[in-house]
Amino acid sequence: MNKRETPSLSQGLDYYKATMGQVEFDKHPDTIVTFELKNRGANKLSTYVTPEQLSARLAELQDGWSPEEVAYLAGLTNQDGGARFTPEYLDFLADNPLPPVQVGYDEHHELTVKTTGAWPLVTFWETVVMSELNELYFAGKLAAEGSSLDELYAEGERRLDSKIATLRDRPDIKFSDFGTRRRFSYDWQKHVIERVAQELPSQFLGTSNIFLAHELNLKPIGTYAHEMPMVYGAIEQMNGNDPLDGHHKMLRDWETTHRGDLATALTDTWTTDYFFTDFTPEQAEAWGGLRHDSGDPFEFGERVITFYQQYNIDPRAHTIVYSDGLDIDMIVALADRFRGRVNLVFGWGTTLTNDLGVKANNFVMKATTVAEASLPQYEQGTVKLSDAEGKHMGSPEDVELYGQRVKRAVAMGARAYQLSVANNAHEKQLVAV
């Protein structure tokens, strides 16, 4: 586990950043988005990391994509054997640096991180900032406490041995590495992936980390994150439309861009109740799976099965991707509960790549505001209504607005709700005339 010498942007990038970026480039290249850091955990990040340290690390990566990294993306194919990414998008990545990042302190002397720029470029800072900040934090913590890295690695190895032994006895369990954002370090993530790829080859499906997928000849794993419907909703609200329109518009743009591939839908951006209201029977049939990221995972699984069955769709032909706070015990329990009833895949994050006996951090780097390049002074906030209230995001006013509209849509049904919104908009136009 030698320390990396030359930093590469994609060492801290999840694959969904590139797959989302293609849609963003095609549909909203001039949309300006701001990302900001929010620490949701008890660990104070500034205890072991200064703004100067983090700024220096990020400055090494601001030039963006290297020719070798772009060439790797250019060689990836979709399910039909065609190019995953368009030449125009790849040229865009090769020709543009990333927007600047501002790092400082807030009034509580906690770190602040903020970056604003064109959506298809600024998006890449999210997982890069998180992975770099985690690595600096844990290195600083070890140095301050005089702890032994070798002893920490030994404990991590012991825990990894136990996980691998458990999984070896459960060949039905399939999983991917989703641990880039919350890893202990790049070196440790690489070591973990090398071991599980070698020792559990029929169960380990791939990694979300673009650099490691390339270097280790593994499948890159990822579709889209909450960022997509959040920004789409803000765009609709900014243009005077119902923000909930952003959800189905985003799904349609995803389908158009990726031509039926990468068809795993994230369900909890504006609550799973709303998702199942808005997701059509045709989409349920066409999309290969659904991703769970908040709320009770067992209740979610039962609900997914019922949802498919009500449309006479065999749940066993579709997949649930579990990706919320997984540990080995939860993975085994979910596999036991739903074995033979629906296909399962586990997107395993923190307890795969950051389980060495040191308390993991809990912070996020989320899209918070949206504007258009022609009118950058008019910003619209984004909203997330997770199935876990502690994960809600947005101003109180916007959270209330979205919440009321979601309740109405769920009560009425998506199509009746959309018709009522359209009728109200039409009446307002007539009054204005």
Q: Using one digit for the tens of pLDDT, what is the confidence trace for 133-146?
A: 999 999 999 999 99
**Taking a C-beta distance cutoff of 8 angstroms, is the pair 221, 207 a contact?**
yes
- Please name each of the domains of the chain with its CATH number: 9-408 (3.20.140.10)
Residue where the block lists tokens 């770190």:
111
Q: Which pLDDT score, from 0 to 100, does residue 426 have?
A: 44
Closest CA to 395 of 381, 385, 405, 412: 381
Q: What is the Cα–Cα distance from 71 to 7, expressed in whole angstroms?
A: 17
Question: Which residues are registered as beta bridge partners of 115?
Answer: 35, 101
Evaluated on CA atoms 399, 400, 404, 407, the torsion sign reads positive
Residues of the chain with pLDDT under 50: 1-4, 426-427, 429-433
Q: What is the Cα–Cα distance from 247 to 302, expressed in whole angstroms?
A: 23
Q: DSSP state, 389?
A: G
Tokens of 185: 């370090």
Q: Which pLDDT score, from 0 to 100, does residue 425 have?
A: 58
Burial of 36 (0-12, 13-18, 19+ CB in 10 A): middle
Q: Which pLDDT score, from 0 to 100, does residue 419 have?
A: 82
pLDDT digits (tens, 9 = 90+) for 159-177: 999 999 999 999 999 999 9
Q: Is 370 left (phi over 0), alpha (psi -120 to 50) or beta?
A: beta
Q: What is the Cα–Cα distance from 12 to 6, expressed in whole angstroms?
A: 13
Q: What is the Cα–Cα distance from 198 to 193, expressed in whole angstroms?
A: 8
Q: Which pLDDT score, from 0 to 100, does residue 389 have?
A: 72
Burial of 216 (0-12, 13-18, 19+ CB in 10 A): middle
Question: Which residues are registered as beta bridge partners of 35?
Answer: 115, 367
Q: Which pLDDT score, from 0 to 100, does residue 417 have?
A: 84
Q: Which pLDDT score, from 0 to 100, does residue 5 have?
A: 65
